[in-house]
Amino acid sequence: MQFLESIEWPDEIELLIDRLENESAQRALTREERALVDVYETVPILESEDCLHEFWQSDVDHQRVIKSFDLVGATAIVDPLNASRWCGTRSQERGDYSETEADYLATIEEELPPGLEELVDVVMEFVEDELQ
């Protein structure tokens, strides 16, 4: 599933992410800071053609990332991530899914665009409430 437009993060978020990535070499990020970085780094995976399949086949800490989306308030992303957990036990090739599995995954992935569309606003609110 390929989304039509990639999320364009506001400059404020881009600068904050750059700062946090630089600071992470000198200190441990707070849970809130780590959550923001996790969300930012995971969005390109969720916007990719293989979407949830790619997420579950990636080397990210899946549980931490799901908790990060939850922490920032992006529950519309958390639900599809949780519903697609079974992808983590499947073949690395999405084409190996049965027709039923492929249809089910496509149905789950249909829930992502609305969540991604509201993600910038959710993240901005989280930053204002938790990181400033």
Instruction: Give 15-25 pLDDT, tens digit per residue.
Output: 999 999 999 99
The domain tally of the chain equals 1
Q: Is residue 22 part of a domain?
A: yes
**Does 5 map to a domain?**
no
- Does 111 fall in a domain? yes
What mean pLDDT comes out for the span 27-48?
96
pLDDT band per the 50, 70, 90 thresholds, residue 119: very high
pLDDT given for residue 125 in this prediction: 96
pLDDT score of 100: 95
Task: Please report whether residue 3 resides in a domain.
Answer: no
Q: Is residue 46 part of a domain?
A: yes
Q: Residue 3: pLDDT band by 50, 70, 90 thresholds?
A: low
Average pLDDT of 31-51? 95
Residue 103: inside a domain: yes
Is residue 6 situated within a structural domain? no
Quote the CA–CA distance of 130 and 11 in Å, as a whole number. Answer: 18
Residue 2 in domain: no
Mean pLDDT to the nearest integer, 34-46: 96
State the residue range of the domain holding 27: 11-126
pLDDT, greater one: 90 or 13: 13
